[in-house]
Amino acid sequence: MENVLLKNIENPNSADIKEYMAVGGYVSLAKAFEKSPKEIIDEVKKAGLRGRGGAGFPVAMKWTFASGDPKTPKYLLCNADEGEPGTFKDRPILEKNPHVLIEGMAISGYALGAEYGFIYLRGEYPAAKHILDKAIAQAYEKGFLGENIAGNGVRFHLAVHQGAGAYICGEETALIESLEGDKGQPRIKPPFPVNVGVFSKPTVVNNVETLSNLPYLISIGGEAYAKIGSPDCPGPKIYCVSGHVERPGVYELPMGTNLRDIIYTHCGGIKGGRKLKAVIPGGISTPVLPPDKIDCAMDFVNMPKHGSMLGSGAVIVMDESVCLVKVCYRALKFFEHESCGKCTPCREGTGWLRSILGRIEQGTGAEGDIDLLLSVAANMIGKTFCPLGDGAASVVQNFIKHFRPEFEEHIRAQACVVQGQK
């Protein structure tokens, strides 16, 4: 299928509203206004659209909760805090196709009855900030945002709020805290953001890619949309592939495309014809898979059956030159760096795991360290405040589960046993 989300991005001026409109942009917004908000939510429900941020939560359900809450004003927040290592699927939308997001947010805002929207943009995307600011100004100018959108009496204001370097802000309640000017630490749920969100108002938080699906979804209708890709979670999906493949990059494919096909067909296989060693299929916090387990449809429903998760659809491909102890160590270093510090197991556990992995990787691991890793991980899993700590612990568990001999070798040899990488 042709690109929907990444439509026209080869055009060097694709971020300009003129170019966007030239290829049919903002037509869906007008179409949306022909429907009632409820009808739009019904379309989204029919389409079976699921959130693309990682959890795959049904979008219509979230919207129904929020639109049903009597408190006003309501807020629509776009989660553009793309921070999951390996993920770079939202950045091309933000930098090259910002209007598809803005149009999607205007449609969603109308459907929800949200009058205010914020794009919570990660601080690491300074270029996107300027592009979005400009695109939003253009959309205001054309009347697609503002007090009275396209003369339809609908109000929707949109602004970019820049994050400042905190992975945890991808968690929606942490994002809300951060938007309110606080540390990005997750909130107690319930109450859920759909009822008590930003500034204590009903709030929907959706990912960039999710919201960018709306114009297309509205243009073809929910039923047609539901026929794309996996029946359980349909629609186009941006997979972003990095690491040792011939053609790394972003691939907009039907949801549920086979992981092996992504690597070997779309990305041209392993770089230099080397041997595949491991794949992280959905960003660093999703369980790593060994080469014999990559025949799986990449969607939210299917991946757990194969022992992993779709996550953000960020495929990291590692060939035989990679030391997986080192990857695991680097992953834990990341989690340690990003732990918000609110809960004990994550705050203390991520650092402890990192230090044990560090000594194994550096050749000073001791017998029993692998069991210690598993024990510490077990003391974290299911006990942390939010999924970050679970993710950190499960990374350790899954690397050991699939690649235990490599860890054992490191301890036995008191050195890295993988040849070829530096």
Partner 1 sequence: MITVTINGKEIKLEKAVTVLEAARSAGIKIPTLCYHEQLERYGGCRLCLVEVEKMPRLQTACTLMAADGMIVRTETEAIADVRRGILEFLLINHPLDCPYCDKAGECELQDLVEKYGPTTSRFKEKKRKVTENLQDPVIVRNMERCVMCTRCVRMCEGVQGAAAIGVINRGGHSHIEPFSGNKYDCEYCGNCVSVCPVGAIMSRLHRHSYRPWQVKEKVETVCPYCGVGCTVVAQVRDDVIKRVIPRIGSPVNNGMLCSRGRFGYEFVGHPDRLTAPLIRKNGVLEETTWEEAIGFVAKRLTEIKGKHGGNAVAGIASPRCTNEDNYIFQKFLRVTLGTNNIDSTARMGYAGAQAFIENIFGQGATGNIISGLANSDTVLVVGGDPTTVNPILGLQIRACSRKGGTILTIGHVRGLQHFSPVELDPGAMLETTLLECLVLSLLDRKGLPGSNPALEAKIKAVHADNAEFLKNSCITKEGLADFVDKLGSSGTPAVVIGKDLLQTAGSGYRLFLVCAINYIVNGRVYLLSDHANEQGLLDMGCAPDLLPGYRPLSYAEFRKRYETAWKTPLPEKPGLNIFEMIGAAENGTLKALYVMGENPVFNLPDAATVTASLKKLELLVVQDIFLTETGRLADVVLPALSWAEKDGTFTNMERRIQRVRKAVNREGMADWQIITEVARNMSGKAHYTGAVAVFEEIARVSPLHRDLSYDEIEQGNVIYPYKGEPLRGSAEDIAVQKPAAAAEGTISLAIDRLLFHSGTLSRKSPALIKIYPEAVARIHPETAVSLSLAEGDVIRISSQSGKIELPVVLDRHAGRSSVLVPNIFEGTGALRLAGMGLDPVLKAPAINGTPVTIERIGKVTP
Partner 2 sequence: MNTMPEKQMLSAAALKEIQDIRKNYPTARAALLPALYVAQREFGWLSPEAYEAVSDHLGVPKAIARGVGTFYAMYKHKPLGRHVVQLCTNVSCMILGAERLVDLLKNKYGLEPGGTTADNRFSLVIMECIGACGTAPAMLVNDDFHENLTDKNIIEILERYT
By the criterion CB under 8 A, which residues form the site for partner 2? 82-88, 90-91, 122-127, 159, 161-167, 178-184, 199, 240-244, 248-250, 280, 284, 314, 316, 318, 321-322, 326-327, 330-331, 334, 337-338, 340, 421-422
143 near 150, Cβ under 8 Å? yes
Residue 422 C-beta: closest distance to partner 2, Å: 7
Residue 40 C-beta: closest distance to partner 2, Å: 26
Residue 179 C-beta: closest distance to partner 1, Å: 17
Q: What token pair was written down for 215?
A: 């114009």
Q: Which among partner 2, partner 1, none contacts residue 384 (Cβ within 5 to 8 A by kind)?
A: partner 1
Q: How many CB atoms lie within 10 A of CB 390?
A: 19
Between 227 and 247, CB nearer to partner 2: 247
Instruction: Please provide residue 111's backbone torsions phi and psi, each rounded to the nearest 5 degrees.
Output: -60, -40
Q: Which among partner 2, partner 1, none contacts residue 351 (Cβ within 5 to 8 A by kind)?
A: partner 1
342 near 186, Cβ under 8 Å? yes
CA-CA distance, 101 to 49, in Å (whole number)? 15
Q: Which among partner 1, partner 2, none contacts residue 113 (Cβ within 5 to 8 A by kind)?
A: none
Alpha helices, H only, 288-368: 324-338, 344-361
Residue 71 C-beta: closest distance to partner 1, Å: 14
Between 270 and 377, CB nearer to partner 1: 377
Q: Which among partner 2, partner 1, none contacts residue 159 (Cβ within 5 to 8 A by kind)?
A: partner 2
As to burial, measured by CB atoms within 10 angstroms (0-12 exposed, 13-18 middle, 19+ buried), residue 4 is: buried
Between 211 and 395, CB nearer to partner 2: 395
106 near 156, Cβ under 8 Å? yes
Residue 188 C-beta: closest distance to partner 1, Å: 5
What residue ranges bind partner 1 (CB under 8 A)?
166, 183, 188, 190, 336-352, 355, 372, 375, 378-379, 382-385
Alpha helices, H only, 69-162: 90-96, 98-112, 126-141
Q: Which among partner 1, partner 2, none contacts residue 300 (Cβ within 5 to 8 A by kind)?
A: none
Q: Which among partner 1, partner 2, none contacts residue 279 (Cβ within 5 to 8 A by kind)?
A: none
Residue 198 C-beta: closest distance to partner 2, Å: 8
Between 84 and 369, CB nearer to partner 2: 84
> What SS3 state is found at 64?
helix
CA-CA distance, 84 to 280, in Å (whole number)? 12
Residue 284 C-beta: closest distance to partner 2, Å: 6
Q: Give exposure, 152-188, as e/b (b: 16+ Cβ within 10 Å).
A: eebbbbbebbbbeebbbbbbbbbbbbbbeeeebbbbe
CA-CA distance, 329 to 187, in Å (whole number)? 29
